[in-house]
Amino acid sequence: MEKKPKKSNKTVLIIGGGLLAAGVIAAIASGSGSDPIISNPEPGTDAGNGNGSGTTPTINRNLVLKRGSKGLEVRELQSLLQVKVDGDFGPITETALYSVRAVTQISINQFNATPVKIPPVPQTPFKVGQNLMSSLRSGTRQYAVSQDAAGKWYIQNNSHDSVAGFGTDLGKIVAVLSASGQYFYVVVKSGLFSNSYKAVRHTEAKSY
């Protein structure tokens, strides 16, 4: 007697698997599946408040600023002093600070808390046409200068570019620059092919 082959359950499994897959697809299409991951802010946080890489740098108002300091704090101080704002604490910033606070270093908080104190001008300025020489044993700092179209002189940088030894002839005064009660002189020295102009601080030179 010939035996009948047994029916396979594969068809049922495939069909069942198809029904299961169809059910999953239908669930996803209807939105009944799991929610996708979204960037909901955690409790107590403020999404998009700029606390990431785009955060504005904060100013350390307790940082003591002095000659050579650089950065946002210096820019803030220069703005308060009403001098050129470049973020570089140089001789002009130092002179302006000394003229209104009688100190050469200060923090922004100290500046705002300290009453204005105007020190006396150290000496009577020299006159245009006078010859100057270095009066410091350590030498006189010389600053590069430039002149605009209207003939006004400016100190180019906050840092000096050379030092003249004690007793050295600095040149003849062609202009007097006043920076908050302190004086700088633009002096000229005649060269072989051209004239050289520099600015020197009043307290580092004397006439002869």
pLDDT tens digits along 154-198: 888 777 889 999 899 999 999 998 765 678 999 999 877 888 999
Per-residue confidence (pLDDT) for residue 177, from 0 to 100: 86
**How many C-beta atoms surround the C-beta of residue 156 within 10 A?**
11
- Would strands 195-201 and 205-207 be described as parallel, antiparallel, or unpaired? unpaired
Q: Which residues of 86-95 are buried (b: 16+ CB within 10 A; e: fewer)?
A: eebbbbbbbb
Average pLDDT in the 13-17 region? 45
pLDDT confidence of 1, banded at 50, 70, 90?
A: low
Q: Which two tokens stand for residue 147?
A: 């002149």
Distance, CA of 62 to CA of 147 (rounded, Å):
37
Question: DSSP state, 168?
Answer: -
At 68-126, the pLDDT tens digits run: 999 999 999 998 888 889 999 998 888 888 777 778 899 999 988 866 554 555 566 88
Cβ atoms of 202 and 185 closer than 8 Å: yes
What percent of the chain has a predicted confidence (pLDDT) above 70?
Answer: 67
- What's the chain's Rg over C-alpha atoms? 38
User: 3-state DSSP call for residue 120?
Assistant: coil
Distance, CA of 173 to CA of 130 (rounded, Å):
6
Average pLDDT in the 5-21 region? 48
Average pLDDT in the 19-29 region? 46
pLDDT confidence of 37, banded at 50, 70, 90?
A: very low
Per-residue confidence (pLDDT) for residue 33, from 0 to 100: 44
pLDDT confidence of 147, banded at 50, 70, 90?
A: confident
Distance, CA of 197 to CA of 189 (rounded, Å):
7
pLDDT confidence of 53, banded at 50, 70, 90?
A: low
pLDDT confidence of 132, banded at 50, 70, 90?
A: very high
Q: Tell me the one-letter amino acid at 89.
A: F
Distance, CA of 111 to CA of 1 (rounded, Å):
114
User: 3-state DSSP call for residue 108?
Assistant: helix
Per-residue confidence (pLDDT) for residue 82, from 0 to 100: 82
Q: Which two tokens stand for residue 205?
A: 């030179």
Cβ atoms of 100 and 116 closer than 8 Å: yes
- pTM of the complete model: 0.43
- Would strands 182-190 and 162-164 be described as parallel, antiparallel, or unpaired? unpaired
